[in-house]
Amino acid sequence: MEYSPILHNLYVVPSSHAKNKVFVFCIMLSLWVYMIYCCVGYCSTMPNLAYGSVNRHEKYSEVDNKESSLGASRDLLNNENDLDSRGEEWDEIRGEAKALDDNAMSGFLNESESKKLPQAIIIGVKKGGTRALLEFLRLHPDIRAVGAEPHFFDRNYDKGLKWYRELMPKSSEGQLTMEKTPSYYVTKEVPARIYTMSKDTKLIVVVRDPVTRAISDYTQTRSKKPDILSFESLTFKNMSAGLIDTTWSAVQIGMYAKHLEHWLQYFPTEQLLFVSGERLISDPAGEMARVQDFLGLRRVVTEKHFHFNPAKGFPCLKRPEGNSKPHCLGKTKGRTHPNIDPEVVQRLRDFYKPFNSKFYQMTGHDFGWD
């Protein structure tokens, strides 16, 4: 058979095209593998921001579940384990988580940050204005505060200080770690426990007119339990005799002098600051100046941070820079109080008068409730 260049080309050309296609395919495959390898390597070096946020929520969920499993309070109408304040707490946790996530990257870059036990605690009182004070304080760059109430010294003390420290946000040198749990003030065991942790702990108590406080306490409970007895019925052991029921927590909490005696057994008055709940509304900047001085902080939170909301009846927060909308506390704040029999209100005022007088004497401050 004779050699033909034409036939040779018919066989060689297809073979050459096939080799070229295989070569190009191999190059493309190699590039894809290399790109995937680079992406995986990059992702593995990135800090996991989501984990920290999820982990925080898991910790608080553990605390919340533990609290819900505890036995009912002696006063069922004011059981702080119920949902009266839980909705507010978790709104605050979500706000705290957002703030922490916003600062997460700077936290990763600053390795000097660590979790510390609180150097200052807002210990009371319930419905006195503790949430407002904490939110005002969190505007300060030198304050790091946990949003939810840890209830460590009254409900979770057996879990130990290591567990307590883990609840705290990270802080750097020069920053102050804080928490607030209003029930501490009325729990007898708490002063000794805080003293054991640190005898230098600074303590803040927000107080308001005990009669108004009791009505506010009742209003919160009634918002969740509309079928409860009237305020008048719960206030008295014997209505006709005018005998006040001091076992009802709404009444008992307002006996400020009685509770203060337990604290003064461990801490000097100079280590406690008593904040007026009324002035925290009428003059938040003035009261915040006292608080910042007490904590040894610069007066950063001033009148430019507040905007009074006439609809709610208390000040909202705003950032001095920019034109952002003022931030008000949750819808559970500023509830309308029910109308209470004026005679009952007067009897309560008469009941609290000697306690108030003693409290003024002990604190060296006349709050003007009488």
List the binding residues for 3'-phosphoadenylyl sulfate: 127-131, 208, 216, 333-337
Q: Which helix (H) or strand (E) holds 124?
A: strand 120-124
- Structural contact between residues 154 and 181, judged by C-beta atoms closer than 8 angstroms: yes
CA dihedral sign of residues 340, 281, 130, 294: negative
Tokens representing 230 are 């009237």
DSSP 148: S
Task: Indicate which residue of 127, 170, 202, 318 is catalytic.
Answer: 127
- Residues flagged as binding site: 127-131, 208, 216, 333-337
The DSSP annotation for 272-287 comes to EEEEEHHHHHH-HHHH
- Following CA atoms 108, 145, 89, 322 in sequence, which dihedral angle do they give, to the nearest 10 degrees? -80
Active site residue 318: no
- Structural contact between residues 324 and 307, judged by C-beta atoms closer than 8 angstroms: no
Single-letter residue type at 269: T
Q: How far is CA 304 from CA 121, 173, 185, 326, 348, in A?
A: 25, 27, 32, 11, 38
Query: What gap in Å lies between CA 2 and CA 17, rounded to an integer?
Result: 26
Q: Parallel, antiparallel, or unpaired: how do β-strands 306-309 and 314-317 relate?
A: antiparallel
Query: Active-site residue numbers?
Result: 127
